[in-house]
Amino acid sequence: MTLRSYVVTRILMMIPVILLLLTLVFMIVRILPGDPALLHFEKNVTPEVLEAFRERLGLDRPIHEQFIEYLAGIPQGNLGISMQDYSPISSHIVIRFPATLELTIFSMLFAVLFGIALGIRSAKKYDTVQDYTIRTFGIVTYAIPVFFLGMVLQFIFAIYLGWLPTGTRFSLRYTVPTKITGLYTIDSILTGNFEALVISLRHLLLPSITLGLVLCGIFIRLTRTNMLETLRMDFVVAAEARGLSDRTVTMTYAFKNAFLPILTMIGLQFAALLAGAILTETTFSWPGLGTYLVDRIAHRDYTAIQGTVVFFGILVSLVTLLVDILYAYLDPRIRL
């Protein structure tokens, strides 16, 4: 099977998965027992107001008509309107998503670089005190609840030492960088506003380290396991016998061949981070999609909840597709 055929096959396989996701989300919000409109008002509403509310949101139409309109609007970026103020949900997502994406990118960078470095070190120092220490560190960090770790780091570095801000995305005392991408660090660089870059990085540091520490345990164990297996292979032993430096053998021969499973995990964890950074965003008052979803749940804004979950689901599916394509490109055996 050629790479092009593999890509087409994966895309075709993804379509029914997304349709199933959209159907399940629609059913959970609209069909299961309970009237979303009535629950939104907590039952303290007159019949006239309730009927007008349902009509404006299209909840008075038959279920099949709602479902068809719902599916037809998604390719156009129409995720419905909010029950709270009737504004387009897609506009809320456009405003909030860059904050979540920026936090995800920096958290993943920290988790991958730190986790892989420790995993390689653990494999090289197999069955020594360093190996046991690194493995224990990975288990402990993965087991700690992210909100608890976030509060501990806030207390130490923000409250006790006063080195970093406790939360939010940018200091109110300074001007936010001109919006180009919505990512404050990138926008600061593009506009040459290095003061804003420093402020953005200071605000990013604690939440990124918190989320990255929790995830790095996965990469420590995965890297260590694959490196131990690769280091025992004949071609690595032959490279060592030829007198190549330890760094060349480790990085060029062993790690390069152990990287493919790690790449898959990077893609899966990145997708999971995009959809699962809710606790971190809440702990650090980070104005991303996680805090937006929590806020919509508190206001019983079911259409906004539905739109956000659909967006997350489609995003995770696309990231998974990209990882599969990249994996197939790097390892032709996948296409056989």
Same domain, 129 and 69: no
Domain with 17 in it: 3-89
Same domain, 130 and 181: yes
Per DSSP, 81 falls in state B
296 in any annotated domain? no
33 pLDDT exceeds 70?
A: no
Neighbours of 286 (CB within 10 A): 24
Same domain, 67 and 135: no
Cα–Cα distance, 118 to 136 (Å, whole number): 11
For residue range 228-238, list pLDDT tens digits in order.
Answer: 888 888 888 88
C-alpha separations of 228 from 41, 138, 247, 257 in Å: 59, 17, 15, 12
Cα–Cα distance, 251 to 240 (Å, whole number): 12
Q: Which residues contact 182 (CB under 8 A, 6 or more apart)?
A: 97, 98, 99, 101
Same domain, 80 and 227: no
Asked if 217 and 115 count as a contact pair (C-beta separation under 8 A), the reply is: yes
Query: The pTM is what?
Result: 0.85
C-alpha separations of 174 from 249, 282, 325 in Å: 49, 23, 42
C-alpha separations of 74 from 2, 60, 70, 182, 267 in Å: 31, 20, 7, 23, 24
For residue range 169-207, list pLDDT tens digits in order.
Answer: 887 777 778 888 888 899 899 888 888 888 999 999 999
Asked if 268 and 283 count as a contact pair (C-beta separation under 8 A), the reply is: no
